[in-house]
Structure 1
């Protein structure tokens, strides 16, 4: 069958027959096709038993488990390697804040930059031991900033640069290497991967700094389930997931959620205006930033809606307007929830009970 036939089959199963489907693909490349937006679940081959079990449990019973995550361990020994100088670059304020918080918790001398120009300015003033570079930024993007930082390298100093990317596509690793990157880290940021990359490129062990934290790895392949025709719609907000994504820090989770609400206040009318103008290029940039912000908050419905609409815009899918309307509804639901709920108290209650996470 061709892609259109597969799409019709998935649509018939998911919508007409209210049957969950699990998409199995060799790579994550289908995240950029309409097929991934139609299926309820998505796994990449080779299939691991635990991943398959978790996905089936979610599809059949609506239960998301976290047993695949290892228990974080704090190592009491002192770190023998001097804390490195690390630069984090991201134009999304929430993304940058989370990375900076995790690095600072490791007793690392970290600096942040919100644009490629700012990153280059900081790199010219002093060398860094490692750089985390977002790829998509207005003005000077991550690729150009990396190329210019490479020009600053000398025989006595080389700056490892790690790309921060939303999709870890199969062919993207080679392309990033050709563009001057030493590695990549997929969003949302995983504390385990962050620790491993810092240790690999600087020799500094974050765990040995005495800090014990963990961010659950939530990927778009584990998207929120499409509400069943026979079941009530799922909640639009999860306090627990927000805290997990903020490294178990309730105060940071509250601040990131507040930043998202502030962003939605300006994004909601902007999305509709750009759509009405037919300015899909600027609309895609707006949705990409919104999707990035949702990755660090417990807003599964909005995250999934933003992901589907972003994918549809990239592929110029025929159902873009439907997906745009779904995103608008998800924004409205979250804003209504925030107005009708004392969510600050919910976060602060969890802050007084950190052992729950």
Structure 2
């Protein structure tokens, strides 16, 4: 009986011990449930994991513990926290093994504890950190003692604690992401507000610009049109004065257009800068001669001050440098009513091969307020909008000047005070060079040109008449045509010393005509004839493209007499001119020569081509109507080959153009070419019926 009582007492004691142990576990678990709140206020993942580890140790008897987290982008799985730090190598080794055997992937897929044995025999507790079914990582902990004594309720609370911790980590990431997005949004809002302010300022500048440009364009146009209206019937002296007015105002209008084009090119990143030797003294003397007289007309003093160490010959872009200095001197004279204007040039430093030149333009004019200085170098801006009405100008000059100077490796600045004048300064780096060798005899020989035979190709009646008149006034023999097709025809019937070729023309443009001129075995008599482009396209890449297409030179519109004269210096007189009537349409002589002089065979070839021509033309017309570009291309190719064999150069050219248009799918062009084809066929039949050449 006593033994039975002792057994009962022992069992009661064990039950009481287990109950006390369970009570302590429950108390610790309840305490651990408060962890997420305090962790959420921390925001630091390391602090979160350290607190979680402490709660886990209060629930289960564990020693070393580590947390591995998946990165926010899901591309990395790395150790985030470990205690003690020296156990890091152990956990890294175990992590590698568990990843390779798939245990980690399995643990991440279930939100339950898992007890297993490590590679060195240590009991391991592995549990995922999961928030709202999204695995964020795993916990690995070394169990001390018998794993079998770990209570299920303790493991259940571990799951609760880790789930709460995972929620805190996820919320922390979301909070940080929201903060980042808010920061980005605030930045975008700030940039948007700044852009709106800039847009409003740009709109105001645009309005001022349009008003100024309208004024600047209408002023010379009014003078040109008004002078032209009143000069009719006047005396020769009055006519000469009127022509001087028209010329001066035309140059003013051209200068404005050039400024707008310059700014457009610069904004697009196409600022053309040349590097060539030039005489700096000659440039400065030319400016001095021009602006000294301008200043004198306004009753102003003018001075040019050069330091003694200024070199004469340097390498740079004299045209752009003169453009900048001219703009500064223009403004200085324009905005100064009394006192004077000066240009000062100094050499700041030199390394033997390069030097820095400093240019300063000073005046005693109206000056600029401190508030207005930042606006000076912005496009379409002036210090005071009212100045454009009083003094004229668009506000482009200084913006263009700064871009040019910066392209030269320097910068431009201004010092000014309202009512006390201004000083604009710029520094540019240039290389030193020796004077170029001048071949006097060669220049004299080139300067004495005999009358040349010239072809002008221009679709604009006005431009064609102007260029033709200027060339004839120089004493040259000029033939003028209005299309690329007419140009090729003229060159196939007569030799010319040079061709002035418009680029943009309806039908066959200048580039296409030049390609035919340069074609080996083509219809023209002289495929090496000088071809000079006439175009309003002034971009550097346009010039390079024209030269690459076979053109010999380039002149920009509006063309000046001196530009034409300079271009003609490179035109060498060719062989004596001879006419070959009808060669463009049908080169019978060439066909006979290719047939070894046998006219019977040549006639047979020609008759065969005529019989095939109607079929080819009909096939092309039908295919164009049906929109079958493949058949059109084949028809154009057939026409090109057959016509070349028969010496019908005009039809051969049309066939090539039809083939090219079909390859690019240009239906509108093909419709025009069908009409041109019909005309060429009519001319061919007419030439054939007249016996060819």
TM-score interval, normalised by the smaller of the two chains: 0.3 to 0.5
Task: Give 1 or 2 for the bigger CA radius of gyration.
Answer: 2
Please identify which structure carries the higher strand content.
2
Q: Looking at both structures, which has the greater relative contact order when contacts are Cα pairs under 8 Å and sequence separation is at least 6?
A: 1
